[in-house]
């Protein structure tokens, strides 16, 4: 007899199922389970394969999507930095994108455009080097070639090179103006150069403008002095006014204009006085005042730290009356004693009381390097 493991009912040893509860005995239960498992296996195997394949496809798809996202991001960033002029960084980004997607023609084309832009950027840098070296002709030739190539291309990227090309063009104009300055002495021509510089947005242009301003002041001063020395005071004032049109509020020119006007007024007054004295037959003491009114205390020529020569001197009035509008005439001699220039200078202050001192000085920028001396040839003044 055996006992049912489920209901404890007794049965014969040959029984496979319990006669009481109908359940299979222990050994038979295991066999039923095996039969059930075998019946399910044909269904479970395809399902497992589908799950595995689906998971693999999903991961491949997700990876490809991530790669596409990264490539798009690199392409966008490359476009942004390229438009900002950072071509080398853009090239690196696009090269990485091409490595990820080597068969995308659009990426290959953009990478090629970046490399072309890099080539032209390098050529523009070469133009800059030529300009700094002073090779304006070569720089102009190369810049014109680049400009022609750019005009033949239709690319938004290559348009980013236009500002740099314009900068090189402005720099070339600046260099040309600076190079021509040494040959220009006319104030109107210098003013035209100023007008050219006003169109350039370069830091270096301000330095050249200052140089032109200085030259306008010097040329205006020189020509006005020459006119005033010849008693052409109206012309001298007009020359100064012309200079002030381009360097307004320049203190040196303003003072020069005031001095010329004072000299003009003094000259006119002196002329009137001379006419009156001529009519009245001036006394003999006036003769002394008109011929020996000044004593030379100092008179020399020196060279300053900039290599320019300055003639200066000091006089003392020994007249019995106030004298004014004093002009000293002198010769500049070289080391061989040869006269290289005959010049004149005005003494300041304009009016000298008896026993008072006056001084004068004049700077020469164009004298060649050498040893010089000065000899006074004549002095002129007006007796008040």
203 domain-assigned: no
268-275: long-range contacts at Cβ-Cβ below 8 A with a sequence spacing of 24 or more? 270/324, 270/325, 270/382, 270/383, 270/384, 273/382, 273/383, 273/384, 274/382
Q: For 271-290, how does the pLDDT look when each residue is reduced to its tens digit (9 = 90+)?
A: 888 888 777 755 677 777 88
217 domain-assigned: no
Tell me, what's the pLDDT at 43?
56
Tell me, what's the pLDDT at 283?
67
Q: 364 and 292: one domain? A: yes
56 domain-assigned: no
Q: For residues 287 and 293, what is the distance between their CA atoms, to the nearest angstrom?
A: 9
Tell me, what's the pLDDT at 360?
95
State how many domains the chain has: 3
Q: 75 and 34: one domain? A: no
Where is the domain boundary, 154, 183, 212? 183
Q: Which residue positions in the chain have pLDDT lower than 50?
A: 37
Tell me, what's the pLDDT at 312?
96
CATH number, domain at 311? Answer: 2.70.50.60
Tell me, what's the pLDDT at 350?
93
26 domain-assigned: yes
91 domain-assigned: yes
296 domain-assigned: yes
Buried b (16+ CB within 10 A) or exposed e, 238-269: ebbebbbebbeebeebeebbebbebbbebbee
Tell me, what's the pLDDT at 305?
86
Structure token digits, residue 372: 């010089």
Q: For 99-123, how does the pLDDT look when each residue is reduced to its tens digit (9 = 90+)?
A: 878 887 887 877 787 777 788 778 7
221 domain-assigned: no
Strands (E), the chain: 2-3, 10-11, 294-303, 309-317, 323-333, 339-346, 351-352, 357-364, 373-383
Q: 33 and 109: one domain? A: no
> Domain range holding 144?
71-183
Helical H runs in 153-202? 162-180, 187-197
Tell me, what's the pLDDT at 30?
52
Q: 91 and 179: one domain? A: yes
Q: 294 and 335: one domain? A: yes
60 domain-assigned: no
Q: For 200-226, how does the pLDDT look when each residue is reduced to its tens digit (9 = 90+)?
A: 777 777 788 888 888 889 889 999 999
Q: For residues 14 and 224, what is the distance between their CA atoms, to the nearest angstrom?
A: 146
Q: 26 and 129: one domain? A: no
Tell me, what's the pLDDT at 384?
84
Tell me, what's the pLDDT at 348?
94
Q: 107 and 162: one domain? A: yes
Tell me, what's the pLDDT at 160?
72
Cβ neighbors of 191 (< 8 A, separation 6 or more) are 216, 245, 246
Where is the domain boundary, 135, 151, 183? 183
Query: Per the confidence metrics, is the pTM higher than 0.75?
Result: no
Tell me, what's the pLDDT at 212?
84
């Amino acid at each position: 007899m055996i006992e049912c493991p489920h209901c404890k009912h007794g049965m014969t040893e040959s029984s496979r199922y319990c006669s009481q509860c109908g359940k299979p005995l222990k050994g038979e239960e295991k066999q039923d389970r095996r039969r059930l498992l075998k019946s399910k296996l044909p269904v479970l195997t395809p399902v497992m394969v589908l799950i595995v394949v689906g998971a693999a496809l999903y991961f491949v798809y997700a990876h490809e999507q991530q790669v596409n996202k990264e490539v798009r991001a690199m392409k966008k960033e490359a476009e942004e930095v390229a438009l900002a002029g950072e071509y080398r960084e853009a090239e690196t980004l696009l090269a990485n994108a091409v490595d990820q997607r080597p068969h995308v023609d659009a990426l290959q084309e953009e990478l090629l455009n970046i490399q072309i832009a890099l080539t032209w950027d390098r050529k523009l840098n070469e133009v800059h080097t030529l300009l700094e070296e002073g090779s304006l002709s070569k720089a102009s030739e190369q810049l014109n070639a680049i400009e022609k190539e750019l005009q033949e291309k239709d690319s938004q990227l290559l348009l980013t090179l236009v500002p740099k090309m314009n900068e090189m063009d402005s720099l070339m104009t600046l260099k040309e103006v600076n190079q021509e300055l040494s040959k220009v002495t006319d104030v109107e021509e210098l003013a035209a150069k100023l007008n050219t510089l006003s169109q350039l947005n370069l830091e270096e242009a301000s330095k050249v403008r200052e140089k032109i301003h200085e030259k306008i002041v010097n040329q205006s001063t020189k020509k006005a002095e020459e006119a005033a020395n010849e008693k052409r005071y109206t012309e001298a004032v007009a020359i100064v006014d012309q200079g002030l049109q381009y360097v307004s509020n320049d203190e040196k020119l303003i003072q020069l204009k005031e001095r010329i006007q004072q000299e003009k007024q003094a000259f006119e007054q002196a002329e009137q006085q001379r006419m009156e004295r001529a009519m009245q037959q001036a006394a003999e003491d006036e003769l002394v005042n008109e011929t020996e009114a000044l004593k030379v205390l100092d008179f020399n020529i020196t060279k300053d730290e900039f290599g320019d020569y300055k003639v200066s001197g000091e006089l003392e009035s020994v007249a019995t009356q106030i004298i004014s509008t004093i002009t000293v005439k002198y010769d500049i001699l070289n080391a061989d004693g040869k006269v290289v220039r005959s010049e004149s200078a005005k003494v300041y202050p304009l009016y000298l009381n008896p026993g008072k001192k006056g001084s004068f000085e004049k700077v020469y920028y164009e004298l060649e390097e050498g040893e010089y001396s000065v000899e006074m040839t004549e002095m002129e003044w007006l007796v008040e």
